[in-house]
Structure 1
Amino acid sequence: MAAALAANQFSTIQGSENLSLGIMPVSPPFSRMPSLNALRAFEAAARLGSFRQAADELMVTPGAVTAQIKALEADYGATLFERRAHGVRLTPLGQRVAPGFIAAFDALGHAVRELRRHAAPRRVHVVTSPALAQLWLAPRLPALRAALAQVDISVTALEDPPDLKRTPFDLCLFYAAPDPGRIDLGAENLLPVCAPDLAESLAEPADLAKVLCIADVVWQDWRVWADAVALDERMVPTGPGFSLYAVAVQAALAGAGVLMGRRSLIQRHLDSGALVAPFDRPAPLGLSIMAWMLPESRNNRAVIAVAKALRKIAAKS
Structure 2
Amino acid sequence: MAAALAANQFSTIQGSENLSLGIMPVSPPFSRMPSLNALRAFEAAARLGSFRQAADELMVTPGAVTAQIKALEADYGATLFERRAHGVRLTPLGQRVAPGFIAAFDALGHAVRELRRHAAPRRVHVVTSPALAQLWLAPRLPALRAALAQVDISVTALEDPPDLKRTPFDLCLFYARPGPDRINLWDEMLLPVCTPALAEGLAEPADLGRVICISDVVWQDWKIWAKAAMPDSAVVPTGPGFSLYAVAVQQALAGAGVLMGRQSLVQGHLDSGTLVAPFGRPVPLGLSVTAWMLPESRNDRAVIAVADALRDAAGGVSAGRP
TM-score range, shorter chain: over 0.9
Specify whether residues 155 and 235 from structure 1 end up closer, same or farther in structure 2 by C-alpha distance, changes over 3 A only: farther
Taking the aligned partners of 1:129 and 1:260, their CA distance within structure 2 comes to 18
Instruction: Identify the residue that residue 216 of structure 1 maps to in structure 2.
Output: 216
* Separation in structure 2 between the aligned mates of residue 87 and residue 234 of structure 1, nearest angstrom: 40
CA contact (8 A) 1:215 1:237 kept: no
Counterpart amino acid of residue 259 in structure 2: L
Look up the match of 1:104.
104
Structure 2 equivalent of residue 84 of structure 1: 84
Match of 2:27 in 1: 27
Q: Using the alignment, how far apart are the partners of 2:283 and 2:51 within structure 1?
A: 38
Change beyond 3 A, Cα 1:39–1:234: farther
Distance 1:91 1:234, change over 3 A: farther
Change (3 A) 1:235 1:154: farther
Q: Confirm or deny that 1:190 pairs with 2:190.
A: yes
2:273 is matched by which residue type in structure 1? Answer: G
Q: 1:163 to 1:235 in 2, by over 3 A?
A: farther
| Matching of residue 158 in structure 1 with residue 158 in structure 2 | yes
Shift of 1:11: 3.9
TM-score (norm 1): 0.93
Q: How big is the shift at 1:175?
A: 0.4
What is the Cα deviation at residue 16 of structure 1? 9.3
Contact 2:192 2:277 in 1 (8 A): yes
Cα pair 2:211 2:257 within 8 Å, conserved: yes
Q: Is the 8 A contact 2:209 2:236 kept in 1?
A: no
> Is the partner of 2:315 in helix, strand or coil?
helix
Per the TM alignment, residue 15 of structure 1 is displaced from its structure 2 partner at its CA by 4.4
Distance 1:268 1:102, change over 3 A: same
Answer with 40-49 or 236-245: which moved more: 236-245
Amino acid at match of 1:252: A
Residue of structure 2 equivalent to 1:47: 47
Amino acid at match of 1:257: G
Quote the Cα distance in structure 2 between the aligned partners of 1:49 and 1:190: 34
Match of 2:267 in 1: 267
- CA distance in structure 1 between the partners assigned to 2:108 and 2:180 by the alignment: 28
2:142 is aligned to 142
Distance 1:298 1:165 in 2: 15
1:312 maps to which residue?
312
User: Structure 1 residues 173-182 or 289-298, which shifts more?
Assistant: 173-182
Unaligned 5+ segments in structure 2 are 318-322
- Counterparts in 2 of 1:140 and 1:234: CA distance versus 1, 3 Å: farther
Following the alignment from structure 2 to structure 1, what is the Cα–Cα distance between the partners of residues 98 and 44? 10
In 2, are the aligned partners of 1:222 and 1:235 still within 8 Å (CA)?
no
The whole-number CA distance in structure 1 between the counterparts of 2:55 and 2:151 is: 32
Give the aligned residue type for 2:126. Answer: V
Counterpart of 2:320 in structure 1 is none
Q: Is the 8 A contact 2:206 2:235 kept in 1?
A: no
The alpha carbon displacement at 1:229 in A equals: 1.2
The CA distance in 1 between the partners of 2:316 and 2:132, in whole Å, is 17
Moved more, 274-283 or 90-99: 274-283
On the 8 A contact 2:161/2:174 being kept in 1, the answer is yes
Match of 1:286 in 2: 286
Q: Deviations over 1:44-100 (max 9, x none)?
A: 000000000000000000000000000000000000000000000000000000000
**Which segments of structure 1 move beyond 6 Å, counting only runs of 4 or more?**
none
Q: Which deviations, in whole Å up to 9, do the C-alpha atoms of 1:95-140 show, x marking residues without a partner?
A: 0000000000000000000000000000000000000000000011
| Residue identity opposite 1:180 in structure 2 | P
Counterpart of 2:70? 70
Name the CA distance, whole Å, in 1 between partners of 2:61 and 2:242: 25
Amino acid at match of 1:121: P
Letter in 2 for 1:156: T
Whole-angstrom distance in 1 between the partners of 2:248 and 2:231: 23
Residue 202 of structure 1 corresponds to 202
Paired letter, 1:204: E
**Alpha-carbon separation, structure 2, partners of 1:181 and 1:152:** 24
Give, in angstroms, the shift of residue 236 of structure 1: 3.7
TM-score, normalised via structure 2 length: 0.92
Stretches of structure 1 that go unaligned for 5 or more consecutive residues are none
Aligned equivalent of 1:242:
242
Deviation at 1:235, TM superposition (A): 5.4
C-alpha separation in 2, matches of 1:230 and 1:209: 12
**Contact residue 205 and residue 230 of structure 2 kept, 8 A:** no
Q: Tell me the equivalent position of 1:180.
A: 180
